[in-house]
Amino acid sequence: MIILAGFKNGMYESIFTILVVGMAIDYAVHLAHYYNEAQGTRYQKAQAAIHGVGVSVLGGAVTTMGAGIPLFATVVIFFW
């Protein structure tokens, strides 16, 4: 869709796309799993899922971004 919209799909765009999609899927899957395992009413299950998963997903996002920051200082040369 990025290319069809007329945008260039370079190295940085690919990295950002992977990060965004990965974090979105990670959050949704863990939230749904935690919701299914929780007990109580729908409201209580939703509240427990947000409280239980929010910290873990936020920690995963911080470590993923922290690991990617040094990569911006590198130069990638394919088949050099």
Q: What is the pLDDT of residues 59-75, one digit of tens each?
A: 877 887 888 888 788 77
Helix axes 11-37, 42-68, angle to 10 degrees: 150
**Whole-structure pTM over 0.75, yes or no?**
no
Q: Where are the domains of the chain?
A: 23-65
Whole-number Å distance between alpha carbons of 61 and 55:
10
- Per DSSP, helices labelled H in 8-41 are 11-37
Whole-number Å distance between alpha carbons of 63 and 65:
5
Q: What is the mean pLDDT of the chain?
A: 81
